[in-house]
Every structure is written in structure tokens, then in C-alpha cells.
Amino acid sequence: MKEKTLKFVLLISILTSTLVSNACTIFMANDGQNVWVGNNEDENFSTKYRMWYYPANKESFGYMIWTELSIGKLFYGLMYKNPQGGLNEYGLFMDYTAIDDTPVTNDPNKKNRKKELVHDILKSCKTVEEAIRYASKYNLIRLKEAQLFIADANGDYVTIHGGYIIRKTENNFALTNYCINNGHREACYRRDVATNCLNSTNTFQLDDIKNILQKSAQKQPQTLVTNFSMAVDLKSSTIHLYYNNDFTTEKTINLKAELQKGKQHKDLVDYFPKDISGLVEKKFESSGINAAIALYKDLKETAPGQYNFKNNSVINLTIKWIDNGKVKEAITLLETLKEFDSNKTEIYTWLGVAYRKDNNLNESAKNFAEALEQSPNDYLATLWGKQENQKVIFKLNDFEGAEQVSLMGEFTQWKKNAIKMTKENGVWTCEATMPKGENIYKFRVNNDNLTDKINMMYVGTGPDMYSKIYVW
């Protein structure tokens, strides 16, 4: 079955897969008192980043930038000279979103600017108005495949491209990867969900910004994912930083305090506890499951702040084991995780899947029942634990800003008979009758074909990545 499935996937991949080549979401949230910028930086999941800090001097305001991390000699050259964004001590924020190649303006009375803008504007400008005056001196010939979003502590903002400058029209605003000069003709679920959230809130606190970031983030399994997120309080020049879609672990960066430490840089990964799953997997491969569990328990007791035990990385490791035939080992590790966190619905759900794969129907039913008792509306618990007569229920609170969502797979002949999902109270729902055994699927969200952001059982890579489910 697996070999047949993969061959079929390859055959239809060109027809069914849309790889979103541009990513990132930026939004402004201004309630008249609080001024926030939210920022999801989306890239390949393997991309690394660095933060750079530059205190004020006679020629420059104090500021910081963030860049991709490049290997080798280019590290200090190309990446430093081409920051993704930055923030200065006066609360002036800058960041890019990629777009398709769009014509730029070439005014013969202006100088052509080949150098990027972020460093110079952060050094010399306090407000959006000042930033516009600076940028307007040049033909921004290099800025043709990206839009530069600039916001200040007063609540003003602007989107700058080599061919246009779009000023603030309303207090709250969301920008993604489409040319803003064309009136947003393209459907974008990330922009729409951010806009919906912004329009439904009268005051903005940190939790509101985190909520929008989470809802508009791109998650694995997906080629492009949100590598890090920022909730930026522009009035205090404070960044609340989140890494790899983990909103349980926050790093707060007060820019003014960091600048007092002098010129410095720090890799993004070093702000956060280390991922424990790689160590567990390595120990398992070398010494077996008991040694891996012993290592996990030891580090949880002796180094709880050094390693991240809050996110789902170890659970995701067990999912991989379930899919690769290491079911008993997955069960053993999941039972250990349950000892430490008996309230985590995901643990019971994946125990239900693992026991079912191991043909232990009683234990499977018990764990699914526990998951649904803890969280009756939990998507994963419903997806895996409420299967009856080969009927699978899909209930998604993701994509709430999308115009339309449908479910497709081999069981629908992909797009031909895709099942339209209906939205009730912000939740997309449908029921699908699926063949017994292994099934692959995707969601069609507006015009994008996306994997399931919650179900971490998947197959393939890149545009040929598909979500997977076992039907009993």
C-alpha cells in the first residue's frame, strides 16, 4: 500500500501541490494607547538567524537588526549587509515581506540606490515620516521583489516598494506576500485571519498579539514555516520573541537594556532552551529505549531550564516512530511522558494511535476516551479517536480567515471531488468516508494546497508533502 501511495503521489504532485514560495506576515495593532507590531518570519525550517545590537554614537541612534545566518565568509558580509528587519531605540520598526517581481520607478532626477535601507534608516530616523523622506531621495531599484514595512511608536506606518509608497489608511493593518499596490486582489488566508482578529478587538495586549501570530503562522509539516515570531511593543522598544511556533516559551528583549551592554550579537537559537528530542533520539539509536528514557528523566530533573520540555518535540519523535514501525518504543516513551504531564491531550491521542497500530484495541480506546474527556473539541482527538465506519471528522479552527477550504486526497480523486468544508463559529468542518488503512490528504485553502498544520503524521518533502491518517 505504501509503495503504491508514493508512486501515485509522484504522479499527481504537479497537479495538486502549490508551494507557497513567499512567506511572512506583518501586522500593526493600534488601539490608541498601545502600539504593537506582530511579525512572523517564514522560511525553510532549517534557516538560522542572528540578532545584532549597535549602541548609539555621535553618528547613529541605537538599534538592532535580525539576519539570516550564513555559513562561512559570507556570514559577516552578505547577511549583515542584508538584514531582514530591525528596531531602533525610538521604536521605529522595519521588516520585509517578499513579493513577485514588480516594476520599480526610475526617476532620472534621483540617485539609484543599490544598498538596502534598513541600517541607514534605523541609524537616522525616529518616525515613519522621516523614513519616507529618507527613502524618497532615491530610486529604490533593488527593492522590486519585496515590500518594506515601517512603523513607529506613534502608530504611523508605511509600505515602501521601488515602485510605490503606500501610507497609513487605518489604525490596524496586515501585510503578507502580495503587492499592496494592486488592491489585494489575491486571496491570502494569513492576511485575512490577521485582519479578522484585528477588527474584532478593541484593545490590544500581549496575549492578543500572540493569538494573531499563532493563527497566521505557518507550521510543520510544511516546506515553509514560521521560524520565529515577534510581538513588538513600539512604545517601549520591547520584543517578545518566540521560536519555531512554540508560544509556551517566551524571550523578552528590551532593546534599550540590550544596547547598554555594548555592541554585540547573538544567535536566535541561543535565546531559548535546547531541543531535547535530538538527544533522546540519538541515545535511543545507540543504546535503546530504556537508555533514552533514562536520559530524558535525568535531564528533566537536572537541567530543566537548559532543555525545552514544554513543546511537542518529543511527542513528534514518537509520531515518527509510530509511522516507522517502532510502535512499542513509541508507546513506552509516550507512557513516560504521561507520567510527567497527565493533562496533555496530545499524549493520550498518540497513545491511542500507537496502541491501535499495535493491535491493542482496549488500551487504544481508553486513551482516545481520556483525550476526548480532557478536551471534547480537540481536533487531533476528534480526528483519530472518533472514527466510526470509516468516517473521519475534520474540525479545523485554523484558516478561519480563508474564503473557502476543502479536503482532498486519493479518496476524492484529489481536486475532482474535493469535499467542501463549512465554517461554523470560526471552525471549518466536514466528514469524509475514507478507505481502511493509510490515507494521504491535503487542504485546499483559497488557492493554496496545504498540509494539516495540527496532524504531524505526514509523508514526503517539499511540495510533495502530504498529511497522513490511518483509518481503522
**CA count, 13 A, side-chain hemisphere, 374:** 20
3-class SS of residue 167: strand
Mean pLDDT, residues 60-84 taken together: 74
- Asked if pLDDT for residue 181 goes beyond 60, the answer is yes
Ranges assigned E (strand) in 79-128: 85-88, 93-98, 111-112
368-381 pLDDT, tens per residue?
A: 999 999 999 999 99
Report the largest interatomic distance among the alpha carbons of the chain, rounded to a whole angstrom.
Answer: 78
Model pLDDT, residue 3 = 43
3-class SS of residue 231: strand
Model pLDDT, residue 96 = 95
Q: What is the DSSP letter of 370?
A: H
Contacts of 60 (CB under 8 A, 6+ apart): 54, 123, 124
Query: What rounded mean pLDDT belongs to the chain?
Result: 90
What are 229's strand-pairing partners?
40, 242
Model pLDDT, residue 6 = 39
Mean pLDDT, residues 253-258 taken together: 98
Model pLDDT, residue 218 = 86
Q: Where is 256: in which H helix or E strand? A: helix 255-259
Mean pLDDT, residues 93-99 taken together: 95
Higher pLDDT: 182 or 372? It is 372
Please, what are the domains in the chain? Answer: 2-16+311-471 (2.60.40.10), 25-271 (3.60.60.10)
Higher pLDDT: 397 or 226? It is 226
The one-letter code for the residue type at 459 is: V
3-class SS of residue 29: strand
Mean pLDDT, residues 189-198 taken together: 90
- Cα dihedral 58, 60, 61, 63 in deg (nearest 10): -130
Higher pLDDT: 133 or 217? It is 133
Mean pLDDT, residues 232-241 taken together: 98
- Cα dihedral 247, 251, 252, 256 in deg (nearest 10): -140
Model pLDDT, residue 80 = 61
Model pLDDT, residue 124 = 98
DSSP count for the chain of H helices, then E strands = 14, 27
Count of all residues that appear for the chain in the document? 472
- Asked if pLDDT for residue 232 goes beyond 90, the answer is yes
| Distance from C-alpha of 287 to C-alpha of 118, rounded to nearest angstrom | 50
| Distance from C-alpha of 288 to C-alpha of 294, rounded to nearest angstrom | 10
In this structure, of 215-219, 273-277, 389-393, the range with the lowest mean pLDDT score is: 215-219
Q: What percent of the chain has pLDDT over 70?
A: 92
Answer yes or no: are the C-beta atoms of 278 and 286 closer than 8 Å.
Answer: no
Q: Which band of pLDDT confidence, cut at 50, 70 and 90, is reported for residue 70?
A: low
Mean pLDDT, residues 240-267 taken together: 95
- Asked if pLDDT for residue 206 goes beyond 70, the answer is yes
Q: Which band of pLDDT confidence, cut at 50, 70 and 90, is reported for residue 272?
A: very high
- Asked if pLDDT for residue 81 goes beyond 90, the answer is no
331-370 pLDDT, tens per residue?
A: 999 999 999 998 899 999 999 999 999 999 999 999 999 9
Mean pLDDT, residues 430-441 taken together: 96
- Asked if pLDDT for residue 78 goes beyond 90, the answer is no
Answer yes or no: are the C-beta atoms of 114 and 142 closer than 8 Å.
Answer: yes
- Residue 111 class from Cβ within 10 Å (0-12 exposed, 13-18 middle, 19+ buried)? exposed
Model pLDDT, residue 220 = 79
Closest CA to 6 of 326, 417, 465, 392: 465
Mean pLDDT, residues 282-304 taken together: 97
10-52 pLDDT, tens per residue?
A: 333 323 333 333 469 999 999 999 999 999 999 887 888 999 9
415-427 pLDDT, tens per residue?
A: 999 999 999 888 9
- Residue 185 class from Cβ within 10 Å (0-12 exposed, 13-18 middle, 19+ buried)? exposed
| Distance from C-alpha of 118 to C-alpha of 85, rounded to nearest angstrom | 7
Answer yes or no: are the C-beta atoms of 60 and 124 closer than 8 Å.
Answer: yes
Model pLDDT, residue 13 = 36
Answer yes or no: are the C-beta atoms of 311 and 246 closer than 8 Å.
Answer: yes
Radius of gyration of the chain (CA): 24
- Residue 374 class from Cβ within 10 Å (0-12 exposed, 13-18 middle, 19+ buried)? middle
Mean pLDDT, residues 456-461 taken together: 92
Q: Which band of pLDDT confidence, cut at 50, 70 and 90, is reported for residue 457?
A: very high
Mean pLDDT, residues 214-239 taken together: 90
Instruction: Give how far Cα 85 sits from Cα of 50, 118, 255, Å.
Output: 11, 7, 14
Q: Which band of pLDDT confidence, cut at 50, 70 and 90, is reported for residue 147?
A: very high
| Distance from C-alpha of 434 to C-alpha of 389, rounded to nearest angstrom | 9
- Asked if pLDDT for residue 56 goes beyond 90, the answer is yes
Model pLDDT, residue 23 = 66
Q: Which band of pLDDT confidence, cut at 50, 70 and 90, is reported for residue 71?
A: low
Q: Which band of pLDDT confidence, cut at 50, 70 and 90, is reported for residue 296?
A: very high
Model pLDDT, residue 184 = 66
